[in-house]
Copies of this chain bind each other. A is one copy, B any other.
């Protein structure tokens, strides 16, 4: 199995990307990793010791974060994200991962790989860590304004992903809404409710924002704008709270002593909340495996994203999604 890694994308590229890919190559001898990017900028981080199952693929250009995604992808045909996508398209790689511009990766994936038949728009599916395990939220920003039909398609794709990749049998799918009763919400959610209810899903009904962090659904369906706000608010609130906790439990000598004792417990929570453990978010609905990593990904996140990509290929995610869509 070959996995293409965009070495030039992300806040810590190429160093952390290369490190993560190296670790993944060493840990998975059956994989072959293709590091895509500017060789002279990648090589310094390989420090001579390039394992046999890792090779470089030259791509002379880089799509920068500030560029207009679709325009950049159309113009920069030799950029790392476009070349990595082309490898998948041509069958020279089974999946790609990138921590670069999400918009550029979406554009490259849509243009290069196309959509799965029956899916109108792809969705970014992110794992939200909870005490009940990772739960899937989609879409978190691929498609800002969705239609009821598209929300239903997210539910169908998300259910397959949660079952096959997160290992949740019969995933409970819920529609993010402002109230739990049927009939609540705006026009979009009212219509989507009926479609999801009649789809071949384990549909729970509506879920409110306050129930999501408790893991009360395995797959939370929403349009991209709302999912993006949910995800980032959760991330921000966890960060703000931990900052406060750190300050408040060390504000006196006695508390400092107590903090030493409880620190391992807090670390367990921080680890549970660590997005890097989940590696990356699949762009579901495109006709190829395309894993989106957080822009601030370090080597651990890249390592885990390679694992996610590998699993998606192994379980034949695309075929699974296709066979789960209504004929």
Contact = CB atoms under 8 A, between A and B. Distances in A.
A74 interface: no
Protomer copies: 2
A210 B209 CA distance: 15
Nearest to A132: B240
Contacts of A235: 209-210
A153 interface: no
A226 interface: yes
Interface stretch (A250-258, A276-284, A302-310): A250-258
A53 B185 CA distance: 41
Contact of A236 (B211, B228, B248, B261): B211
A86 to B, nearest CB: 27
B232 A229 contact: no
A79 B269 CA distance: 47
A235 B233 CA distance: 10
A147 interface: no
Contact of A255 (B211, B212, B232, B261): B261
Interface in A207-235: 208-214, 222, 224-226, 228-235
A178 interface: yes
A73 to B, nearest CB: 18
Chain A, interface size: which category? 35 or more
Interface string A240-275: 110111001111001101111110111011001000
Contacts of A260: 258
B268 A262 contact: no
A100 interface: no
Contacts of A315: none
Nearest to A233: B209
A176 interface: yes
Tell me what chain A mostly uses at the interface: helix, strand, loop, or mixed: helix
Nearest to A208: B232
A43 interface: no
B186 A210 contact: no
A110 B120 CA distance: 40
A186 B265 contact: no
A16 to B, nearest CB: 21
B259 A233 contact: no
A46 interface: no
B236 A209 contact: yes
Contact of A261 (B230, B231, B257): B257
20 contacts: A131-B243, A141-B178, A144-B186, A178-B224, A186-B225, A208-B232, A209-B234, A211-B236, A213-B233, A214-B240, A226-B229, A229-B230, A241-B269, A244-B272, A245-B269, A248-B265, A248-B268, A249-B265, A255-B261, A255-B262
